Structure formats: structure tokens, C-alpha cells
């Protein structure tokens, strides 16, 4: 609210539907005049208080914010965008791109105005462009070079220099042989002696002399032994690797394993390469979001990670088809990582032009990856941050229930059911061996559990049917056990004693499994306590670093789907934490029946009203029938005080129901109604 102290005050009133414009332009003189309605043209006003939307307007206001005739709205918007830096493409677009952008206006074709625009549009067609290039008598590369010269975008060529000579050695990989592949141990020791010799420090001059003049030596002999073992491994595993490639890599992507027509016999497999190896190759693919791919003579193309924005600086130096020198930085699992060989450019060296690095190498997400923590651990990624649960595993109780006990209990019950049926119907199993019994239907292990519902005392309860195959049962052993117990029971009966079976064979088996599980849990607890003690003694962290974060890391209002604050109502807006009207009415109805206790199954409010109306209708019908019976039968002794008491409330609850006797889940509550107890 603003207060202005002035003797002359001009204000715009706020009519809802103004009949005439408030501002007029006088073309005779270039000055702008303001016309006011009659109610506003008074001589003077006393000091008055105004709201923020009734700010006084004078001529300086009109000069700043009034309409301007010289500039259209589109021109003003474009100028404003460029001045504020909101539309950088206005300066960057080439003439062809600018023409292509302005040639279509919301899907409607615009006629080409100038001959330059017509020619630029024709040059967008490859066939016409090639025709023009041939008319000029130049090649396509020269034409593109000329276009770059016109734009002035060709930078100077990169020159890579080294402080020391580039050393290319023939050394076997340190991770040879692959896992699961057996080689001659003496040959392997002979190969690995070359790795020990790499740690010897030599002078640069001596290194240059050896690199220039030595053509053979002990390292070459060791490398020949490695090549012999490598060729044996390739001959044994080449077909298997190609089959696995067809199984896992069904879609094409840059850097995929070469197979079929692309595969050649001289291509090197993954064990041939090692980190630190210098290779010569040819750029095969350039990808905007993933980087460059270099063919180094292997079944996998090497991957040089380059992100999108860095291509602006690198696009002139790295092009498809050029020969480069690369260094291998990492070798990874081809079935987990999308690009198993990661490299960098050595010639030309563009490391100083790469600013955006990949945090982690791209990986495959497969259907069998169920545990995200295990997946991240295998791929070298940090764990998913989560809140500390506050529960220490070393303080939890020991496990004593084996997971197989449920299956044993199911098998035990199935065996006893068959034996009971055998005693009840002996003719059904006459002449049959228990070991030769078959299932009535084809047993389906996936659909062995059925979830249904069954009526029990006017209530619909959930029911689970567990199907068991006869092949899983040991009926002969169960029959022998039952015959043994029947024999002992008959002998005890003859002696006049009582014989009781406390546990059967399967019960002892369940106890053994539970005891094994308890012993395993106890040993794991001991190992966990020893590990914690050792970590505390060495000063190591007890938990995986980065696995648990403080509550402040997640912020004050962390997204929690179970929190009512983040649930949305019918209109798509988030509800507050208060319950809806229907939920409050349902809870009040439940509390009126059972007090503050929890209701195991919540009935909808509409069903409650329907059942209440049905009960009222039934009670009225019952009372009318009773009145008719009383009128026809007549009264007995009028002096009997017991006639005033209605014994119907003591009868079976299923025969009569009163209007105020509630029904929860289709079952009448245990409360007794007082209706009809004292009649008038």
C-alpha cells in the first residue's frame, strides 16, 4: 500500500468493462495525450491511500510503458531474446540452416523470395549438390573445405610431441591366461619373467639405442611363447564366443563384437590386449553421446569416451577414416560392460580438449540382474545411498526355521492324507503299489499354489490350496511307520496302557533341518562378530563406504510413497495428511462397533448402509409376523409376569436379527440388543 502526498493527482479507475480505450494517439502532433472518464477529471484530490494495482500514472509512465508504433511485437520479442542472451542460435545458424528454419511457418510452405534462397534450398539435395560440385571441377572434400574456409572454422592442425620416445613393446598381458584355461606352468613362468624386467630402470639414450638397433632378444622369445598359447586358446574358444555374442548382443550398437561377415580369422580376441598397450588403428565410428570408436585389429573396437559438448572442439581433429595411435586404458568384462576396451588418443593427442568425463563406463542391464547393490558392486559403482536402518545384524536373534521345513510339512500332510484315505477306502488301493501311484492331473510346479476363498460361519475367508506331486512323497516309508505305530498301539491296548504318538518321521526330519539352520546362523554370527572386532582393531569402516547416509543427506521432505503427503487426490493435486471424508465415516462406523480395536477387514460405507437397510426391513417383517401370531393365538394367563419378557433375544442369532445389531464382515457382533426387552 502506497501513500502519495501531492496536490494534483491523476488515477486510472478500474472499470470491469470499459466502453472506450483510455489511451489515444494524436497523429497531428507527436505528443501523446491521456483522456480520462468523467469521474476521474476532477480539479484536485485530497491525499488518499492506494492499493498496489492502482499506482498513479503520469506522462513519464506512458513514455516508458506505452505502446510503440515503430517496432512490431515479433521484432521486439526477437530483440529482447537476443539482448538477454535467450536465443544464442540467432547468431550461430549458418545461412542454410537459417533458411531451412525460416522456410516453414507452422507447417505452411512459404514461397522463396530471393534467388540465393532458391539456390540454397536446391543445394540441400545431395544429387544437385554433387552435380554442382562436378560442374565446378572440384572434389567433394575440396568443396567442404571451401565451405569451412568461407565460415572460417578450420583450426590449426594438432601437433603431438613427446618428452620421451614413444615406446612400443611386445609383452604378454599380465592377466594371461584367462580364467578356467590351463597352460603349461613352466612356459607361464618363462612368459612372466618379462614383467619383472619391465621394472628395471634404464637411461633414455640407452633406450633409444635398443629401440633402434635391437630386432630380437629374450622378450621376443617370451612373446612367441605367449602367442603360441594364445592361438591354442582362440582355436578352442572362438566358436563359443561367437555363439555367446549372438545370444547376448542381439541389437547392433557401436563397438559390438564383430561376427558373421565382419569377422576375420586374423582378428585378436580380448585376452590379447592389456591396459597400457600402444596400438595403431583407424577411426570407424564417431558417436555424439558416447565417443569415438577405433578399429585396432580386434573383435572389439576400442572406445574413446567423448561427451557431446566436447565434440565442438574435437570435431576438426578426429574424423572417420583417419589413422591414429591409441593407448588402452582399461579392459573390462564384455558381457557386463557395453564397451570392453577403453582407450585414449596418443596421436593426435586431444586430452587437453576433453572436459566432460564419463563417471562410469556404460553397462548392460539384463533381466537376471535382480540385486542392484550387487550389480553396482560388480561394475565399480558406489552403492545406492540409503538411510541407516538403526538395526545392527549382530544384535538380531538367530534364525531357527529352515526354508525347506514348509515344503517338508506340506509333503508330510500329503502322505498322511493318502494313508487316511487308504484306511477309509481299502478297495481303492487294492492290488496297487504305493510307489507306482501317479497324479490325477499333470502337475504344474508354477501353479502349485492356488488362492481362493471359502465361506465359514457366514464369513468369506481366504483359502490356500497347496498341490503336491505323488512323485515327491515317500509313501512306502510312511506306510511302514504307520503299521509300526498301529502294532505298538495294539500291544499297549492289550496291556491296558495308553499309547500316544508324539512325533513322526517327518517331524524329526524338520527338527534336524531347523537345527542345521540354527547352527549355520550361529556360525555366521560368530564370523560377523570376529569381522567387526578385526575391523575395529585395524581402524577400518564397519559398513561399506557410501552405503548409508545421514538423514540430512536426503533433505527434510524426502519422497516417500507411503506418506499421505505425497498421495494425489482425484483432481491430480496432492492431498494433505488429513483423511478423506469417506475414510473418517468408515473409521467412525468401525469404532462404534468394536471400540478402538483394529478391524481386520474394512467394509465400504455403502455396503454398511445397504446391510443396515436390509436388517431394518427384516426386523419389521419379523415383528409383524409375531404380532399376527399373538393376535391369532390369544393371551394365556394375564397375571404371569414372565409374559412381559421377550425370549427371542436368547435364541439363535441366525434366526432373528434386529436393526441395531451390527454386522461386521457378514458376521453378527457379540453384543446383545435391548430392543424388545421391555415392551410398552
Higher pLDDT, 107 or 541: 541
pLDDT higher than threshold 80 for residue 143: yes
The CA distance from 128 to 115, in Å, is 16
Say which range, 213-227, 293-307, 327-341, 450-464, has the weakest mean pLDDT. Answer: 213-227
**Number of H-type helices and E-type strands within the chain:** 17, 17
- Cross-strand pairs, 664: 667
Higher pLDDT, 198 or 374: 374
* Cis preceding-peptide flag for 177 (omega within 30 of 0): yes
Vertex 308 angle, CA 302 and 312, to 5°: 105
Q: What CATH code is carried by the domain that includes residue 317?
A: 2.40.50.140
Same structural domain for residues 346 and 231? yes
Q: Is residue 422 part of a domain?
A: yes
Q: Domain residues for 120?
A: 86-149
Same structural domain for residues 138 and 219? no
Classify residue 337 by its DSSP letter: B
Q: Is residue 318 part of a domain?
A: yes
Q: Name the residue among 259, 257, 242 with its Cα closest to residue 293.
A: 257
Same structural domain for residues 288 and 364? yes
The CA distance from 134 to 453, in Å, is 82
The CA distance from 648 to 558, in Å, is 59
Residues with Cβ within 8 Å of residue 62, at least 6 apart in sequence? 23, 32, 34
Q: Is residue 311 part of a domain?
A: yes
| Single residue among 327, 345, 379 that ends a domain in this structure | 379
The pLDDT, as a whole number, for residue 662 is: 53
Listing DSSP states for 210-268 in one string gives: HHHH----HHHHHHHHHHHHHHHHHHHHHHHHHHHHHHH--S--TTPPP-GGG--TT-B
Same structural domain for residues 361 and 410? no
The pLDDT, as a whole number, for residue 458 is: 84
Same structural domain for residues 412 and 321? no
Same structural domain for residues 363 and 426? no
Say which range, 54-63, 100-109, 590-599, has the weakest mean pLDDT. Answer: 100-109
Percent of the chain with pLDDT over 90: 32
Q: Is residue 8 part of a domain?
A: no
Per-residue pLDDT band at 25 (split at 50, 70, 90): very low
The mean per-residue pLDDT over the stretch 619-637 comes to: 73
Same structural domain for residues 191 and 291? yes
Same structural domain for residues 268 and 223? yes
Say which range, 4-13, 222-231, 615-624, has the weakest mean pLDDT. Answer: 4-13
Per-residue pLDDT band at 631 (split at 50, 70, 90): confident
The pLDDT, as a whole number, for residue 647 is: 53
The CA distance from 340 to 300, in Å, is 8
Average pLDDT across the chain, whole number: 78
CB 343 within 8 Å of CB 329 = yes
pLDDT higher than threshold 90 for residue 430: no
pLDDT higher than threshold 80 for residue 632: no
| pLDDT tens string 52-70 | 455 566 667 767 776 666 7
CB 402 within 8 Å of CB 433 = no
Per-residue pLDDT band at 608 (split at 50, 70, 90): confident
| Single residue among 514, 546, 566 that ends a domain in this structure | 514
CB 257 within 8 Å of CB 245 = yes
The pLDDT, as a whole number, for residue 35 is: 40
Q: Is residue 529 part of a domain?
A: no
Per-residue pLDDT band at 174 (split at 50, 70, 90): very high
Same structural domain for residues 290 and 340? yes
pTM score of the predicted model:
0.50
CB 330 within 8 Å of CB 285 = no
* Cis preceding-peptide flag for 60 (omega within 30 of 0): no
Q: Is residue 306 part of a domain?
A: yes
Which range has highest mean pLDDT (209-223, 249-263, 299-313)? Answer: 299-313
| Single residue among 149, 174, 193 that ends a domain in this structure | 149
Same structural domain for residues 204 and 338? yes
Q: Is residue 654 part of a domain?
A: no
Say which range, 21-25, 106-110, 135-139, 423-427, has the weakest mean pLDDT. Answer: 21-25
Residue 58 φ then ψ, to 5°: -125, -170
Q: Name the residue among 479, 481, 473 with its Cα closest to residue 437.
A: 473
The CA distances from residue 534 to 130, 530, 542, in Å, are 75, 6, 10
The mean per-residue pLDDT over the stretch 374-383 comes to: 89
The mean per-residue pLDDT over the stretch 578-588 comes to: 68
| pLDDT tens string 305-344 | 998 889 888 988 998 889 999 999 999 999 999 999 999 9
Per-residue pLDDT band at 301 (split at 50, 70, 90): very high
Question: Computed over its alpha carbons, how large is the radius of gyration of the chain?
Answer: 45
Which residue stretches of 54-114 are H helix? 59-65, 73-84, 89-92, 95-102
The CA distance from 367 to 562, in Å, is 27
pLDDT higher than threshold 70 for residue 548: yes
The pLDDT, as a whole number, for residue 18 is: 42
pLDDT higher than threshold 50 for residue 390: yes
Same structural domain for residues 369 and 411? no
The total number of structural domains that make up the chain: 3
Q: Is residue 205 part of a domain?
A: yes
CB 311 within 8 Å of CB 288 = yes
Same structural domain for residues 441 and 375? no
The mean per-residue pLDDT over the stretch 620-638 comes to: 71
Higher pLDDT, 123 or 217: 123
Question: Strand ranges (DSSP E) for 18-159?
Answer: 23-25, 32-34, 48-50, 104-105, 108-109
Amino acid at each position: 500500500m502506497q501513500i502519495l502526498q501531492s496536490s494534483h493527482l491523476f488515477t486510472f479507475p478500474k472499470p470491469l468493462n470499459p466502453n472506450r480505450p483510455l489511451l489515444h494517439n494524436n497523429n497531428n502532433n507527436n505528443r501523446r495525450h491521456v483522456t480520462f472518464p468523467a469521474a476521474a477529471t476532477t480539479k484536485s484530490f485530497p491525499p488518499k491511500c492506494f492499493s498496489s494495482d492502482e499506482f498513479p500514472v503520469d506522462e513519464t509512465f506512458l513514455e516508458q510503458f506505452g505502446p510503440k508504433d515503430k517496432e512490431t511485437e515479433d521484432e521486439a520479442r526477437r530483440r529482447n531474446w537476443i539482448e538477454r542472451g535467450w536465443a544464442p542460435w540467432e547468431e550461430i545458424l549458418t545461412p542454410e540452416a537459417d533458411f531451412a528454419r525460416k522456410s516453414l511457418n507452422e507447417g505452411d510452405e512459404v514461397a522463396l523470395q530471393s534467388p540465393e534462397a532458391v539456390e540454397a534450398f536446391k543445394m540441400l539435395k545431395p544429387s544437385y549438390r554433387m552435380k554442382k560440385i562436378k560442374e565446378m571441377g572440384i572434389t567433394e572434400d575440396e568443396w567442404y573445405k571451401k565451405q569451412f574456409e568461407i565460415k572460417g572454422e578450420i583450426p590449426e592442425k594438432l601437433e603431438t610431441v613427446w618428452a620421451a620416445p614413444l615406446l612400443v613393446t611386445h609383452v604378454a598381458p599380465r592377466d594371461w591366461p584367462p580364467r578356467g584355461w590351463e597352460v603349461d606352468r613352466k612356459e607361464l613362468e618363462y612368459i612372466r619373467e618379462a614383467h619383472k624386467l619391465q621394472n628395471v630402470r634404464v637411461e633414455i639414450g640407452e633406450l633409444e639405442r635398443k629401440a633402434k638397433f635391437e630386432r630380437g632378444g629374450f622378450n621376443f622369445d617370451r612373446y612367441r611363447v605367449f602367442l603360441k598359447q594364445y592361438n591354442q586358446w582362440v582355436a578352442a574358444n572362438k566358436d563359443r564366443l561367437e555363439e555367446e555374442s549372438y545370444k547376448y548382443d542381439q541389437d547392433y550398437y557401436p563397438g559390438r563384437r564383430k561376427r558373421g561377415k565382419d569377422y576375420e580369422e586374423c582378428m585378436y580376441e580380448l585376452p590379447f590386449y592389456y591396459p597400457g598397450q600402444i596400438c595403431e588403428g583407424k577411426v570407424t565410428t564417431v558417436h555424439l553421446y558416447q565417443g569415438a570408436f577405433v578399429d585396432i585389429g580386434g573383435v572389439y573396437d576400442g572406445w574413446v569416451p567423448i561427451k557431446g559438448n566436447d565434440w565442438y572442439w574435437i570435431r576438426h581433429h578426429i574424423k572417420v577414416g583417419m589413422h591414429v595411435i591409441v593407448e588402452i586404458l582399461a579392459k573390462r568384462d564384455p558381457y557386463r560392460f557395453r564397451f570392453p576396451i577403453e582407450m585414449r588418443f596418443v596421436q593426435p593427442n586431444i586430452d587437453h580438449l576433453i572436459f566432460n568425463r564419463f563417471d562410469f563406463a556404460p553397462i548392460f542391464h539384463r533381466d537376471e540382474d535382480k540385486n542392484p547393490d550387487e550389480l553396482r558392486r560388480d561394475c565399480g559403482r558406489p552403492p545406492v545411498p540409503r538411510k541407516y536402518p538403526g538395526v545392527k545384524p549382530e544384535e538380531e536373534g538367530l534364525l531357527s526355521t529352515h526354508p525347506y521345513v514348509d515344503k517338508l510339512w506340506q509333503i508330510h500332510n500329503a502322505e498322511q492324507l493318502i494313508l487316511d484315505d487308504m484306511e477309509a477306502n481299502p478297495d481303492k488301493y487294492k492290488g496297487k503299489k504305493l510307489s507306482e501311484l501317479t497324479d490325477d492331473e499333470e502337475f504344474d510346479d508354477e501353479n502349485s499354489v492356488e488362492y481362493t476363498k471359502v465361506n465359514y460361519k457366514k464369513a468369506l475367508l481366504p483359502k490356500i490350496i497347496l498341490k503336491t506331486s505323488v512323485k515327491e512323497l515317500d509313501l512306502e516309508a510312511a506306510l511302514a511307520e504307520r503299521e509300526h505305530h498301529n502294532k505298538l498301539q495294539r500291544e499297549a491296548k492289550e496291556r491296558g496302557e495308553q499309547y500316544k504318538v508324539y512325533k513322526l518321521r517327518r517331524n524329526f526330519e524338520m527338527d534336524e533341518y531347523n537345527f542345521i539352520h540354527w547352527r549355520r546362523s550361529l556360525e555366521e554370527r560368530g564370523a560377523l562378530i570376529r569381522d567387526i572386532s578385526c575391523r575395529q582393531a585395524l581402524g577400518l569402516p564397519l559398513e561399506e563406504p557410501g552405503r548409508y547416509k545421514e538423514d540430512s543427506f536426503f533433505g527434510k521432505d524426502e519422497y516417500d510413497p507411503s506418506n499421505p503427503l505425497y498421495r494425489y487426490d482425484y483432481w491430480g493435486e496432492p492431498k494433505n495428511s488429513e483423511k478423506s471424508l469417506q475414510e473418517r465415516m468408515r473409521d467412525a462406523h468401525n469404532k462404534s462397533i468394536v471400540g478402538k480395536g483394529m478391524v481386520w477387514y474394512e467394509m465400504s460405507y455403502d455396503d454398511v448402509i445397504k446391510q443396515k437397510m436390509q436388517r431394518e426391513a427384516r426386523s419389521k417383517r419379523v415383528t409383524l409376523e409375531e404380532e399376527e401370531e399373538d393376535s391369532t393365538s390369544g393371551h394365556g394367563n394375564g397375571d404371569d409376569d414372565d409374559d412381559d419378557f421377550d425370549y427371542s433375544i436368547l435364541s439363535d442369532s441366525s434366526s432373528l436379527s434386529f436393526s441395531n445389531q451390527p454386522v461386521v464382515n457378514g458376521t453378527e457382533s457379540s453384543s446383545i440388543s435391548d430392543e424388545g426387552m421391555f415392551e410398552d
